[in-house]
Structure 1
Amino acid sequence: MAVDVREAARAQGPGRPRREITTAFVVSRIAVLAVAAAILLYAVPPLIAAGSWVPLGVLAAASAAIAYLYLTRRFVAAKYLIPGTVFLLAFQVFPVVYTVTTAFTNFGDGHRGDKAAAVEAIQTGSVRQAPGSPEYTMTAALRGEELVFLLVDPATKQVSLGSAEGLSRLDGARLGATGKVLSAPGVSVLTAPQAAARGQEISALAVPTAGGLIKANGLSRAVEGKATLVYDAACDCVRGNGDTWTADESQGYFVNARGEHLAQGWQVNVGLDNFLRVLTNPTISGYFAGVLGWNLVFALASVLGCFALGMSAALALHHPRMRGTRVYRIVLILPYAMPAFAMLLVWRDMFNRDFGLINQLLGTEIDWLGGTMTARFGVILVNLWLGFPYMFLVTTGALQAIPRELTEAAAIDGATPWRAFRRVTLPLLLVALTPLLISAFAFNFNNYNAIALTTEGGPFPADSPQVGGTDLLITYTFRLAFGAGGAQFGFAAAISVFIFAIVAVISAVAFRRSRKQEEIYA
């Protein structure tokens, strides 16, 4: 539907073409301006409060440019191009760049913040209750969005408000029978479930005092103590407990003379260490080639198998003498309509040795997921069942786009049905579906759910509990980076770069071959 703005057309004068403003154009303009205004209203107050004048200036300039662009009749192409470019940068370019840059750092558990945050965490975490120090009855509360402690001195019943800035007297609080604060002016008291949900924040909050720090001891008690580890800026080290840990900027740790480090560190650039670890660490590189080989087999078998099954079904239903095609198509796409994660769990139970449906139907007691070869056969079978309906759908659409005159002409020339399929139908199908096959290969190469929800990477040999018989690179990476040793985001990002390079090279070669094929059948 178009809205003809006649007054605007008359204002342009005689001889000028009349412009029409479509509803979609108006809606898109309003939507972009509304989003820009919402971001501006949301971001300006915090930036002003923090004194971040450069980001504020950039935001103001961007908002002014957007307003000028969408409130003028000029630059029509840019009105559509700029939002697409912004989304491309936000959801494609930025994640890739961020992953690559993270691969060159030690970002992970123990290395999530900067050095100042690490020092604060070390000192706060080493707080121990001082002899004779008071123990307060504590109530967690919110002052606006800030978490605070309402502390009741057991001797004087005086209520104090504790925050990261320090301790201050609080009058007008109402106490309950247990001594906890029920209500107080200016704050909102958290209920027990609410406090439990914020347990980590409560444990992390430290209230500085003249004698040390007040830390929570559970959800209803707080004690005052002193830090046993103290940072000394003169030597850039942490002292305490009869030892000294000096800052090592190459590792992002405080390290003592024996090479031991404190648990809390900070994020630093480690260069190529994460990549070299993948290639030189025998625990990792020793199994990398084997996992990669199975990964390629799994991805290729899944793609080619799904394509063969889907194409066979599509060819059968595409035959002009076939009847009941609608019913058959509905039945064939049922696996595609089911939630994949639920079906993977169902198949896992079907493979169970003791009560699985497959063993019951066959009258066997095969431990399908307990042996490497049977487990690999099982996960490929499950992936074929889940993936072939997609190939059936896209092949059905591609077959309908191939003129029947081509196959009829081949039959007139004396070609057998198999020869006509191999020389005419299949090449034309591959020209249309090769990009989809390449994308399906990339998806199955990183098909984490298919492995994690069926075999969890197993079975695991006794001498190598880190790598299983059905592990893909993505599941192997997840176990190495987020296993018992904690989260290692930098290391995981490095392996992700390796995986990206492998898939990119294979996809580039496949696309080049597909372009040559397109030139032949163009």
Structure 2
Amino acid sequence: MLPSLGKAVKKEVWNEKEQIYEYIQGDNSMLILLFSVLTLMIIAAFLIVYAANIKAAYNNQLAVNKGRKLNSALQDITALFDKKLHYAFLSLPMLGILVFTILPLIFMILIAFTNYDQSHQPPGTLFTWVGFENFKNIFWDDPIQSRTFVGIFQWTLTWAFFATFSNYILGMILALMINKKGIKFKKFWRTIFVITIAVPQFVTLMLMSRLLADQGAVNVLLGYLGVSPVKFLTTATLARITVLVVNVWVGIPYTMLITSGILMNIPADLYESASIDGAGVARTFFKITLPYMIFVTTPYLITQFIGNMNNFNVIYLLSAGGPLSLDYYQGGKTDLLVTWLYKLTVNNQDYNLASAIGIIIFLVSAILSLIVYNRSGSARKEDTFQ
């Protein structure tokens, strides 16, 4: 049944006896696909258990040949609460991972190779396999979809770069200023800048969205001052700058805390040696502080970059991906791939296209992470860095 995803379509039939039309339920492609994946997983589990039993039987036979006494069934069960207690504890979490993570993941990957969209909604309409058609539409076959993907993908990478390094650089500068010798009330200054973390991020973003709206408080105030209203969130270029600036506001405190901890753990003898050698402040920073910071925080930077590529909250809560564009298919000028995926799923029911985009996001994130980390000093000089 898996190759066809159903054949019987829901149809209307005249009931001569009751003198009414009745609907005969057809196949449900979604349930067929879901239960097929579940069945394959159960078969795979049985095969694994079967292979484990064969291996155990073989080992038991070897033990018998050597004259060893085998454990009874009761002893094997007792071992699950003693020497093999970890198996008993891990069984339920593993079952949960399989049912609530692996199964939905495989299901959604398979959706990318179907035509499950707003025109093919089960149980009323069946959907079928279309191979790589969705990927071809995204990349070149469909002009609107490919133009939307290229534009949003370029902005996603641009956003991730500036959102990551603006927070990193400004957070580092702030940490250097607070940790500088001679600065008084360091704990006070750290507390002041960390207060923004105490406010839930979604509250901050929704408040900023209201303040910066065309009829928001900021533009009302500008009107009182005789200044023309500024379209912070409804002009493409200005909207992109606005989301970057607001992201700095909510992101700098985290970077400041991380870099402050690293600065306080840089060996003092490195600075003493540099001072004895006559190195100035700038030379000390670029030769000692910055290399140490980059080495330690490279995994953090990679994580932040990938996280910003998928930063749903800042974009959706602040600008909702807008302003909308007629050149884009169900997307806006500040949409990231992840917010575009959300709109395709929730607003337009294009589940096939959204699943294909999800696969692309995963591949790009995984490839970038592996390449950058393996080429970084954190991976190549892990054992030699002092």
Question: Please, what TM-score do these two structures have when normalized by structure 2?
Answer: 0.71
Instruction: Quote the offset at 1:80 in angstroms.
Output: 6.4
| Contact map agreement 1:70 1:79 (CA 8 A) in 2 | no
Code of the residue aligned with 1:272 in structure 2: it is F
Identify the match of residue 333 of structure 2 among 457, 463, 469.
Answer: 469
| Contact map agreement 1:455 1:470 (CA 8 A) in 2 | yes
Alignment of 1:452-491 (within 5 A): 452-461=316-325, 464=328, 466-483=330-347, 486-491=348-353
1:207 corresponds to: none
Q: Which stretch of the first structure deviates more once superposed, 71-80 or 268-277?
A: 71-80
Identify the match of residue 356 of structure 1 among 217, 223, 246.
Answer: 217
Alignment of 1:433-448 (within 5 A): 433-448=297-312
Code of the residue aligned with 1:97 in structure 2: it is I
Instruction: Quote the offset at 1:387 in angstroms.
Output: 1.0
1:325 corresponds to: 186
Q: Residues 171-209 of structure 1, C-alpha deviation per residue, up to 9 Å, x if partnerless?
A: xxxxxxxxxxxxxxxxxxxxxxxxxxxxxxxxxxxxxxx
Identify the match of residue 265 of structure 1 among 92, 115, 125.
Answer: 125
- Sort the Cα spacing of 1:269 and 1:378 in 2 relative to 1 into closer, same or farther, 3 A: same
- The whole-number CA distance in structure 1 between the counterparts of 2:198 and 2:182 is 28
| Contact map agreement 1:411 1:417 (CA 8 A) in 2 | no
| Contact map agreement 1:352 1:367 (CA 8 A) in 2 | yes
- Sort the Cα spacing of 1:368 and 1:95 in 2 relative to 1 into closer, same or farther, 3 A: same
Code of the residue aligned with 2:265 in structure 1: it is A
Identify the match of residue 97 of structure 1 among 97, 100, 106.
Answer: 106
Identify the match of residue 359 of structure 2 among 479, 488, 497.
Answer: 497
Instruction: Quote the offset at 1:496 in angstroms.
Output: 0.6
| Contact map agreement 1:110 1:266 (CA 8 A) in 2 | no
1:506 corresponds to: 368
Alignment of 1:375-394 (within 5 A): 375-394=239-258
Instruction: Give the 3-state SS of the residue equivalent to 1:521 in structure 2.
Output: coil
Instruction: Give the 3-state SS of the residue equivalent to 1:401 in structure 2.
Output: coil
Identify the match of residue 68 of structure 1 among 77, 80, 103.
Answer: 77
Q: Residues 219-268 of structure 1, C-alpha deviation per residue, up to 9 Å, x if partnerless?
A: xxxxxxxxxxxxxxxxxxxxxxxxxxxxxxxxxxxxxxxxxxxxx21243
Code of the residue aligned with 1:300 in structure 2: it is F
Instruction: Quote the offset at 1:82 in angstroms.
Output: 5.6
Whether 1:298 and 2:159 are equivalent positions in the alignment is yes
- The whole-number CA distance in structure 2 between the counterparts of 1:490 and 1:78 is 38
- The whole-number CA distance in structure 2 between the counterparts of 1:482 and 1:352 is 24
Instruction: Quote the offset at 1:90 in angstroms.
Output: 5.5
Whether 1:283 and 2:144 are equivalent positions in the alignment is yes
Q: Residues 411-442 of structure 1, C-alpha deviation per residue, up to 9 Å, x if partnerless?
A: 22111112111111111112221111111111
Code of the residue aligned with 2:320 in structure 1: it is E
Alignment of 1:124-273 (within 5 A): 264-273=124-133
Q: Residues 79-107 of structure 1, C-alpha deviation per residue, up to 9 Å, x if partnerless?
A: 66666655665665445433322222334
**Greater CA radius of gyration, 1 or 2?**
1
- The whole-number CA distance in structure 2 between the counterparts of 1:88 and 1:402 is 40
Question: Which is helix-richer, 1 or 2?
Answer: 2
| Contact map agreement 2:138 2:146 (CA 8 A) in 1 | yes
- The whole-number CA distance in structure 1 between the counterparts of 2:207 and 2:128 is 45
Code of the residue aligned with 1:385 in structure 2: it is W
- The whole-number CA distance in structure 2 between the counterparts of 1:317 and 1:440 is 23
Q: Which stretch of the first structure deviates more once superposed, 489-498 or 354-363?
A: 354-363
2:271 corresponds to: 407
Instruction: Give the 3-state SS of the residue equivalent to 2:269 in structure 1.
Output: helix
Question: Which is strand-richer, 1 or 2?
Answer: 1
| Contact map agreement 1:106 1:267 (CA 8 A) in 2 | yes
Instruction: Quote the offset at 1:332 in angstroms.
Output: 1.0
Q: Residues 347-372 of structure 1, C-alpha deviation per residue, up to 9 Å, x if partnerless?
A: 11222344433773794322222221
Whether 1:307 and 2:168 are equivalent positions in the alignment is yes
- The whole-number CA distance in structure 1 between the counterparts of 2:159 and 2:334 is 9
- The whole-number CA distance in structure 2 between the counterparts of 1:99 and 1:371 is 35
| Contact map agreement 1:102 1:490 (CA 8 A) in 2 | yes
- Sort the Cα spacing of 1:110 and 1:368 in 2 relative to 1 into closer, same or farther, 3 A: closer
Instruction: Give the 3-state SS of the residue equivalent to 2:264 in structure 1.
Output: helix
Instruction: Quote the offset at 1:112 in angstroms.
Output: 5.8
Alignment of 1:34-113 (within 5 A): 68=77, 71-75=80-84, 78=87, 89=98, 93-108=102-117, 111=120, 113=122
Instruction: Give the 3-state SS of the residue equivalent to 2:333 in structure 1.
Output: coil
Quick one: percent identity of the two aligned structures? Answer: 30
| Structure 2 segments unaligned to the other structure (5+ residues) | 1-41, 51-72
- The whole-number CA distance in structure 2 between the counterparts of 1:452 and 1:281 is 26
Root-mean-square deviation (Å): 3.2
1:123 corresponds to: none
| Contact map agreement 1:351 1:359 (CA 8 A) in 2 | no
Instruction: Quote the offset at 1:68 in angstroms.
Output: 2.9
Instruction: Quote the offset at 1:331 in angstroms.
Output: 1.3
Identify the match of residue 274 of structure 1 among 108, 111, 134.
Answer: 134
| Contact map agreement 2:81 2:88 (CA 8 A) in 1 | no
Q: Which stretch of the first structure deviates more once superposed, 326-335 or 379-388?
A: 326-335
Larger relative contact order, structure 1 or 2 (CA cutoff 8 Å, min sep 6): 2
Instruction: Quote the offset at 1:498 in angstroms.
Output: 0.8
Code of the residue aligned with 1:436 in structure 2: it is Y
| Contact map agreement 2:144 2:327 (CA 8 A) in 1 | no
- The whole-number CA distance in structure 1 between the counterparts of 2:112 and 2:325 is 30
| Contact map agreement 2:157 2:309 (CA 8 A) in 1 | yes
Instruction: Quote the offset at 1:467 in angstroms.
Output: 3.2
Q: Residues 388-427 of structure 1, C-alpha deviation per residue, up to 9 Å, x if partnerless?
A: 1111111122222221221221122111112111111111
